[in-house]
Structure 1
């Protein structure tokens, strides 16, 4: 069975409509330029974007969270949820100064259990990933690219940042034993290396199979943190800038930001004593 309580708490996937949504659209509506254009226009106004590339990139990042939810279904619950573009709705809800997305699943399909034998499982995963990424997400990202002008590889590039953060955490969820943790890792490896990229993503190379780059933490010198796989376009939001983890940020600028942040933190700590 699909545990939607887990999906809601970890990946913002719900089955009950949020009454305070400021913007809603089904994934089917976002699969064409006619539906994508007004969505990006309104979303851009809500987040005070200075260019349409920003809401396009933010939308792609949201879809990465939905992709992480799919991995949880397939690997933790051993079920293909059978989500379809017509029955999944993105809702943007205002929380304080921000707009948080939820994915509303209407008329959830009967989930399909996965086989445990590896060869049969890979066939099952291929079908599930093909339906999700090829049939559902690919048209959305292509429409977003066409409307915004942001290159399609920049949109696909938002997804690995979310997936590479979320999937490893699944092995630490309550009740996950070693066998399930191993399945999480094998299934994710298959997503990155076992598919035909042109068939599933329309790309010569799998856009989810990327090299993770590590940088020194902004807060703790002894800790490493992941660099984002692609620029999230936050600098095209009013008052925004390149993120510390942005691949576009020069290393000299990153070092200067670390130095400045730690000096400010030291002053605050001294003042609190």
Structure 2
């Protein structure tokens, strides 16, 4: 069944599961996901585990993990012509302590999907509606709650998503490099995300996903290129950490002297 296949792929590639394999440190589900006090408690636990200076660091990292959900939607829309139920009511968020790192896992209560119409014009209308639903009814309330709970400006939170989607874009091209039709579909659907969604969907003055990706040379592999992050992820505010090599706050001189 398609639902089973999608469920397997979401768990394998996008950190989205129906069942947890371990006990979480703490969790958010349902209305608590957009409750500032509950979110503040969740971020406080996350901050301690990643040794961040404040809740803003935890909020930025949280949003980077949420990029998995945004990428999962993009994937299922383009690859399977299907939209999973990523509503807040169907979502639980778990803080998971792993060996050597901490991750945020997302759990779906039910794995049900809406299939795209066969007609291409009807599919475009459906695609825009599903993207608007996700970004206005799931992502926006979550971002605004994270901002209120952490004090980090909401634009800095939205700014984490283009980096996550760029990572997904690179993975898609590597995985499906011989499937030209699928890559064309992915590119067309991505244009809807960047150019078909109005700013009010996000509660901002402009669409935060409409960005230009800047590339730099890989420091260790000259034949490769790296995408500069859209905004700073605040890694330097963690104990013993520094700016990422791909941080947009670094110039050529700082990168030349960069050390991990």
- CA gap 1:72/1:155 in 2 versus in 1, 3 angstroms: same
What is the alpha-carbon distance in structure 1 between the residues aligned to residue 121 and residue 205 of structure 2?
A: 24
- CA gap 1:116/1:203 in 2 versus in 1, 3 angstroms: farther
Deviation at 1:155, TM superposition (A): 0.4
What is the alpha-carbon distance in structure 2 between the residues aligned to residue 166 and residue 212 of structure 1?
A: 13
The answer as to 2:2 corresponding to 1:38 is: no
What is the alpha-carbon distance in structure 2 between the residues aligned to residue 139 and residue 251 of structure 1?
A: 37
Residues 102-132 of structure 1: CA deviation (Å, up to 9, x unaligned) = 21111223x1111244432221112211221
Out of 74, 92, 115, the position equivalent to 1:113 is 115
The answer as to 2:57 corresponding to 1:57 is: no
- CA gap 1:139/1:162 in 2 versus in 1, 3 angstroms: same
Gaps of 5+ in 1: 262-273
What is the alpha-carbon distance in structure 1 between the residues aligned to residue 16 and residue 145 of structure 2?
A: 23
Residues 163-190 of structure 1: CA deviation (Å, up to 9, x unaligned) = 0110342244369833222211111111
Aligned Cα root-mean-square deviation (Å): 1.9
Out of 78, 81, 84, the position equivalent to 2:84 is 81
Structure 1 runs (4+) deviating above 3 angstroms are 171-177
Gaps of 5+ in 2: none
Does the 8 Å contact 1:192/1:206 carry over to 2? yes
What is the alpha-carbon distance in structure 2 between the residues aligned to residue 108 and residue 73 of structure 1?
A: 12
The answer as to 2:137 corresponding to 1:135 is: yes
**Residue correspondences, number:** 257
| DSSP-derived class of the 2:52 partner | coil
What is the alpha-carbon distance in structure 2 between the residues aligned to residue 29 and residue 152 of structure 1?
A: 19
| DSSP-derived class of the 1:100 partner | strand
Show the counterpart of 2:202.
Answer: 201
Matches within 5 A, 1:12-27: 12-26=15-29
What is the alpha-carbon distance in structure 2 between the residues aligned to residue 188 and residue 102 of structure 1?
A: 25
Show the counterpart of 1:225.
Answer: 226
Show the counterpart of 2:251.
Answer: 250
Deviation at 1:14, TM superposition (A): 0.9
Does the 8 Å contact 2:37/2:149 carry over to 1? no
For normalisation by structure 2, the TM-score amounts to 0.92
What is the alpha-carbon distance in structure 2 between the residues aligned to residue 116 and residue 172 of structure 1?
A: 27
